[in-house]
Amino acid sequence: MKEKIKDFFRNIRIGVPNLIIWFPIIWKDRDWDHQFIYQIFRHKLHLTEQFIRHHGIHINNIDDANKIKICINLLDRLIKDEYHETAFKRHVEKWGPPDLNWNDSKDYPKMCELSITHPNVKTDKDKKAERKDFSNSCKNESALREQDLDMLFKNMRKHIQTWWD
């Protein structure tokens, strides 16, 4: 009985601050996008990294905190989601910024078509080359995102069970 009372008060001492720390994250959480999972995951890893870095009593606590920090940095990149800008930087430099125009569809009344043009596309040969560059940039964008996801989960899989003493 004495242990249950001790546990009750310890749970309050630890649980109430946890509720306060997690409240802003949970308040903003939604179920419709992977970004929200990244935010929750990042918050948990941040708390764990800080705890292990400053209160870890095992021999490799700083190394472990640094490994967690790598995962946090990868999550930051995934949350920021600037892969499109990175992948398309060369495309925009070469072909110019895209000009987006909505036009009435000739084939479908009451519908619109989006046409994307670039100032440096002058000929049909340029148009073909720009389309190929566009396709390659799309693949590059996807590859950059996948690379960060792979690195994040490989690091987690390799190290997560060794982060505590």
Chain-wide mean pLDDT for the chain? Answer: 92
Mean of the pLDDT values across residues 136-150? 97
Mean of the pLDDT values across residues 88-106? 93
For the cut 80, the answer to whether the pLDDT of residue 4 exceeds it is no
pLDDT of residue 9: 80
Predicted confidence band of residue 134 (pLDDT cuts 50, 70, 90) = very high
pLDDT digit string, tens, across residues 66-85: 999 999 999 999 999 999 99
Calpha distance 30→102 (Å, rounded): 32
pLDDT of residue 144: 97
pLDDT of residue 165: 63
Predicted confidence band of residue 59 (pLDDT cuts 50, 70, 90) = confident
Can you list the pairs that 77-84 forms with residues at least 24 positions away whose Cβ atoms lie under 8 Å?
Answer: 77/148, 78/38, 78/145, 78/148, 78/149, 78/152, 79/35, 79/38, 79/39, 79/42, 81/35, 81/145, 83/141, 83/142, 83/144, 83/145, 84/141
